[in-house]
Structure 1
Amino acid sequence: MPPAPRLGLVAGEASGDMLASLLLQGLQARWPGLSAAGIGGPKMQAQGFKAWWPSEKLSVFGYVDALLHLRELLAIRRALRDRLLADPPDLFIGVDAPDFNFGLETSLKAAGVKTVHFVCPSIWAWRPDRVKKLAAAADHVLCLFPHEPALLAQHGVAATFVGHPVADRVSLEVPQAAARLALNLDEAATVVALLPGSRRSEIRHIAPRLLAAAALMHQRRPELTFVIPVVPGLRPLLEPMLAAHAPGLKVTLVDGRSHEVLAACDLTLIASGTATLEAALYKRPMVIVYAMHWLNYRYMRGKALLPWHGLPNILLRDFVVPELIQDAATPDAIASAGLAWLDDAPRREALQQTFLRLHQTLRQDTARKASDAIAKILAR
């Protein structure tokens, strides 16, 4: 047997930490002695990953936020590059975070380090020019979605569809009763989950709207129960917003455990991003909300290629769930869209069947497929 590989790995934000931790599980099953180090979060560290910097350092969004942290981000990338080049790993894997990882991967690849990028950037949705940077950065791309390898092949980028690791972990049948028991939620309650995002900038722009919408929903339906899974470290940012935008509203705050919250809820009001796909895997009706600094929005709107923002709608190529973006994301509009789901059982049932088919498509045993692809790259 060849020796277990040494990996360099960078994952940003809570979603990247989750994806990378699931990938690590599959790689460690294939190579029990595998070691990995770089930038990562608590889920990766639970798999034995050595985090030289925490993944939260990369949790910035949009050009305004990135500019405010640019000097620190560039310093971290230089230091990480120098450390990896001084003792090169057998393979480097960049998990999402393309604006950080592409430059790092390009330097490593030029120095002879094999590079893999896990999660194809959404070049089919916006900023198609990034495919050139991806081609220069990565020897191979591991794709979450089935349409991506053919698109990358048109640009000479080798890629493998590996499915979505969360689709493997989430049961096709949602264990709602068990999740409610674990979270101490009433089994008979109508539960609304608020997921305002995992970045500080998202919390600042989106949480006030979701909290105000929850307050309006409670006025119309006092029996509703509200719960928020809080990303570790962001509770101090969120708690004052709760008092300011939904005074007197009883909301259960849960540290982490977003998957249990999605399993337990009947409806989610949710920030556009990876979490919307997770909500779809849990077959949950949702209202997708997004808001950002107006300069970021103005720039990104000009780069968009598709009419949809949320991943479920993009993958299904239809507005299967409502999207309320920027100025349209008013508390009243969010509340009305949420209550419309609760009032329409046939619509909810049809959505569950649509999401079940999507779940089956993305369930590909990602850990095995990804480790197979990586084994071939290491063997070259």
Structure 2
Amino acid sequence: MVAGEASGDLLAALMLGGLKGRWPDLRAAGIGGPRMAAEGFDAWWPSDKLAVHGFNLELVRRFREIWTIRERLSDRLLADRPDVFVGVDAPDFNLGLEARLKTAGVKTVHFVSPSIWAWRGGRINKIHRSVDHMLCLFPFEPELYHAKGIGATFVGHPLADTIPIAPPREAARGRLGVAEGTPLVAVLPGSRRGEIRYIAPTFLDTVALLARQRPDLRFVLPMAPGLRGMIEPLVQVHCPDVPLTLLDGQSHDALAACDVTLIASGTATLEAALFKRPMVIGYRISTLSWHIMRHMGYLPWVGLPNILANDFVVPERLQDAAEPAQLARDVLDWLDNPARGEAVQQRFTELHHSLRRDTARAATDAIAQVIGAR
């Protein structure tokens, strides 16, 4: 298996539980993170080796390192062939690896369809060359692959299985030490260093502005592993003396407990929707990345909750539009309009039900069919 970044590590770990339930003697190895390791995964390289933010100098600087890892991994897998290779997200890394393995006769499964319906639709031809079977998180995706002769199964979203329909708000507030009735804003600027570099300063300036306008507000910011040393100095520069608590992990507690979240576009926005939280989506990347990516998109939305709802149910502020005054207005608009918040919570509840499908078991069933195993 190969999983990139924190979100892939989480999805892969949830899948591993289902695989081990069917095949207790399963051995899984490759590239993964701490959640996968907790499931007994043998990580030859850590998943954060694949974390790159946008099209920028970081990608150029790290291209050789990442390419070398892929070549070494490919050689190792071809020398000691697995029953199946499962690439979890990270399509720019995994599809090339999967193509080489499939050509050599190794069965390949990809978990999490690339967003061909949102941008870079031409990748479906590469997927056809690379993947024996695609495991799809969303119900509309398999039809796109079947039309191109690619096997695909809707397995639901594992987070929809693990996150309860009724979020444990009171328990989460207790764990965070936040009293009931205290207005709480969860700040999630991303889990990659590139995201922190581009997004966190704007989000923290927004926190400072909100704290001046509403002194009763409290803030929590959950951090991915290894990012405290990067985030703490930013807090001191952009919002010192603000009631902001930095959390090591605990993103689910933060989302369950908060009244609204200021959040970077990505998988975390779907988690926020599953916790039924009103949100303001913000995102910034390098100028070069922005000019490249803005011309590749097909949809008017970038946030997963809006894409799945086919509507602007939550505000998106991207690049220059993601500025503190606007983000603060959007956050306060949720806090000052509880009826609007209740309406979006109802829509998110419907979305949650649509994505529930015992993902670990459905994915395991599909993989068993691919490799012809009981």
Report the TM range for the smaller structure's normalisation.
Answer: over 0.9
Of 165, 176, 200 in structure 1, the residue corresponding to residue 169 of structure 2 is 176
Q: Secondary structure at the match of 1:253?
A: strand
Residues 1:10 and 2:2 aligned together = yes
Correspondence for 1:132 = 125
Relative to the length of structure 1, the TM-score reads 0.97
Correspondence for 2:349 = 356
Q: Secondary structure at the match of 1:287?
A: strand
Q: Secondary structure at the match of 1:62?
A: coil
The whole-number CA distance in structure 2 between the counterparts of 1:344 and 1:68 is 46
1:356 alignment partner AA:
T
Name stretches of at least 5 consecutive residues in structure 2 with no aligned partner: none
Q: Secondary structure at the match of 1:270?
A: strand
Task: Give the superposed CA RMSD.
Answer: 0.8
The whole-number CA distance in structure 1 between the counterparts of 2:219 and 2:171 is 18
Correspondence for 2:99 = 106
1:46 alignment partner AA:
A
Residues 1:58 and 2:63 aligned together = no
Residues 1:302 and 2:292 aligned together = no
Q: Tell me by how many angstroms 1:245 deviates.
A: 1.0
Of 202, 205, 213 in structure 1, the residue corresponding to residue 206 of structure 2 is 213
The whole-number CA distance in structure 1 between the counterparts of 2:195 and 2:334 is 24
Q: Deviations over 1:12-63 (max 9, x none)?
A: 0000000000000011111111110000000000000000000000111212
Among all aligned residue pairs of Structure 1 and Structure 2, give the percentage whose two residues are the same amino acid: 59
Correspondence for 2:33 = 41
The whole-number CA distance in structure 2 between the counterparts of 1:352 and 1:316 is 12
1:57 alignment partner AA:
K
Name stretches of at least 5 consecutive residues in structure 1 with no aligned partner: 1-8
Of 325, 333, 340 in structure 1, the residue corresponding to residue 333 of structure 2 is 340
Correspondence for 1:279 = 272
Residues 1:90 and 2:99 aligned together = no
Relative to the length of structure 2, the TM-score reads 0.98
Q: Secondary structure at the match of 2:15?
A: helix
1:361 alignment partner AA:
S
Correspondence for 1:378 = 371
Residues 1:198 and 2:191 aligned together = yes
Correspondence for 1:291 = 284
Q: Secondary structure at the match of 2:55?
A: helix
The whole-number CA distance in structure 1 between the counterparts of 2:131 and 2:111 is 10
Correspondence for 1:159 = 152
The whole-number CA distance in structure 1 between the counterparts of 2:341 and 2:205 is 24
Correspondence for 1:268 = 261
Q: Secondary structure at the match of 1:187?
A: coil
Q: Secondary structure at the match of 1:177?
A: helix
Q: Tell me by how many angstroms 1:187 deviates.
A: 2.5
Correspondence for 2:22 = 30
Q: Secondary structure at the match of 1:288?
A: strand
The number of residues matched between the two structures is 372
Q: Deviations over 1:101-142 (max 9, x none)?
A: 011000111111000000000000001011111111110000
The whole-number CA distance in structure 2 between the counterparts of 1:147 and 1:61 is 27
The whole-number CA distance in structure 2 between the counterparts of 1:186 and 1:202 is 31
Correspondence for 2:63 = 70
Q: Secondary structure at the match of 1:254?
A: strand
Residues 1:19 and 2:5 aligned together = no
Of 252, 258, 261 in structure 1, the residue corresponding to residue 251 of structure 2 is 258
